[in-house]
Amino acid sequence: MTQPVRTAPTLAEVAAAAGVSRSTASRALNDSPRISEETKKRVRAAAKEVNFVPNARGRALAVGRTEIIAVLVTEPLSELFSDPTYSEFLSGITEELSESSYLPVILQASSTHERNRAREHFERRSFDAVIDVSPYKGSELLEVLRELGVPTVLCGQLEGHPYRDVFSTVYSDDEEGGHFAALAMKERGRKDIVAVLGPQDNPAVVDRLRGYRAVLGEDLPDANVIYTGWNNGDGYQAMHQILAREIAFDGVLCGSDRIAAGVITALNEAGLSVPADVSVVGFDDHEIATRCVPALTTVRQPLREEGHMAANIALDMIKGAEPTTSVMHMQLIQRDSL
């Protein structure tokens, strides 16, 4: 009961069936202008007849490209999976690449073991380009990619731009985002602001805070800035701490929409009304933002567009383009929490 392991038809068979040489068959299928319409038709018919599909291995060797782009994920998958912003971003990448002949594949590299495997395959030139969705400074893999000269796109700004001259970068302007959020608070007349942000060492967090500060100045005192995780629970807990301090405040800037959701819950439990007593602004325009009560005013990060951009830059770099840096613009989404 062995299955019929039809070995795939090769170009030679197509050529024979069409009564032409291998080279003519190749050119015909690649629509070269040097081949007559008549011959092209015959070759195409023959190819269809035997179900010919060019073998990726042979083609890759000949053209010097595998037509595969690796999407490098250096975080643990579970973390990636719990953060829906990535899913949006990845969809952007695959969407864009599906217009081309390139295939995006997700390459997990969280454990040391996985990183070594990934490194090996980079060295073997298994991929034409790499898109790193969560690059961090000092990553060994980035060092390897740099040495190998593999076209690489970093998604997110690295502090000090250590690879600016070799890698392309795509990121959203977090400072601008902070600007928008803070400006909205100011226009609403809020004067005593609290910020519940993500991890202190996160570059996006730093930039957003800078944006807040530029607008609010002393209305956002140092003591009112809390660093925590990205989740509902983190926001909830942080808000409780703030309430316990019994300071006066009328606005909360949040590092993520999930943080904001937790913050709102905590405020409601404390008998404070949003937005009557306190204004809340989130970040990300996560799906949860519309489900909050009241619906959350937030800063939209153009994740899908970032994905598109990253994919396009990768394709350009494969064609030999110089590395570029591309900044995407944030947008304030007005809802009811302000």
Partner DNA sequence: GTTAACGGTGCAACCGGTTGTACAACCGGG
Partner DNA sequence: CCCGGTTGTACAACCGGTTGCACCGTTAAC
Binder to DNA among 1, 2, 31, 63 (CB under 7 A)? 63
* Nearest distance in Å: CB 323, DNA: 23
Q: Does 150 bind DNA (CB under 7 A)?
A: no
Site string (118-157) toward its own copies, x via CB under 8 A: x-xx-xxxx---------------------xx--------
CA–chain centroid gap for 297, Å, is 23
Residue 236 · residue 270 · CB < 8 Å: no
Do the strands 298-300 and 331-333 form a parallel or antiparallel pair, or are they unpaired? antiparallel
Stretch that binds DNA, among 48-56, 89-97, 159-167, 244-252 (CB under 7 A): 48-56
- CA–CA dist 296, 155 (Å, integer): 26
Please answer whether residues 52 and 13 qualify as being in contact, where contact means their C-beta atoms are separated by less than 8 angstroms.
Answer: yes
Binding site partner of 36, from DNA, its own copies, none, Cβ cut-off 5-8 A by kind: DNA
* Token pair for 143: 């060092």
Can you tell me which of 3, 34, 246, 248 binds its own copies, judged by CB under 8 A?
Answer: 3
Q: Which does 290 bind (CB under 5 to 8 A by kind): DNA, its own copies, none?
A: none
Q: Which stretch binds DNA (CB under 7 A): 14-22, 94-102, 145-153, 275-283?
A: 14-22
> Is there binding between residue 183 and its own copies (CB under 8 A)?
no
The token pair that represents 6 in the structure block: 């039809």
In this structure, are residues 262 and 231 in contact, taking their beta carbons and an 8 Å threshold? yes
Length reported for the chain: 338
Residue with token string 């607008």: 215
**Residue 218, both tokens:** 């002393």
CB of 64 or CB of 138, closer to its own copies:
64
In the complex, the smallest distance separating the C-beta of residue 181 from its own copies, rounded to whole angstroms, is 25
CB 212 within 8 A of CB 243: no
Question: How many residues belong to the site for DNA (CB under 7 A)?
Answer: 31
Sign, Cα dihedral of 330, 222, 214, 155: negative
Does residue 47 bind DNA (CB under 7 A)?
no
The pair phi, psi for residue 266, each rounded to 5°, is -65, -40
Binding site for its own copies (CB under 8 A): 1-6, 8, 53-61, 64, 66, 68, 70, 77-78, 80-82, 84, 86-88, 90-91, 94-95, 97-98, 103-108, 111, 113-114, 116-118, 120-121, 123-126, 148-149, 165-166, 322
